[in-house]
Chain A
């Protein structure tokens, strides 16, 4: 089994951001996540792709693991790494494989 690329320390950080946004029933709606991602100052088309890759069940909302994927991609993008066109297997949360 491939370990998830989101490290436990990062996951804890992302989880605390997730909780601070007031998830309802353990999920965040798009309108709650959007301003956070926009805060990164990344281009909207990049953020749109980040959303596509992280909303794995395409319900327009992110659960904790999906949110971690989104944050991971945003942080990597801010470090200058390109956002992939499709989600590499190591980035898929173990709970969703």
Chain B
């Protein structure tokens, strides 16, 4: 669905 790792849309990652 969406790329795992380095998701830039999540401010907590």
Contacts and interface: CB of A to CB of B under 8 A. Distances in A.
Which of under 10, 10 to 19, 20 to 34, or 35 or more describes the interface residues of A? 10 to 19
Contacts of A51: 10-12
Contacts of B2: 58
A65 interface: no
Interface of B: 2, 7-13
| 7 nearest CB pairs, A to B | A30-B11, A48-B12, A60-B9, A34-B11, A47-B12, A51-B10, A58-B9
**Chain A interface mostly:** helix
A45 B12 CA distance: 7
Interface of A: 30-31, 33-34, 37, 44-45, 47-48, 51-52, 55, 58-60
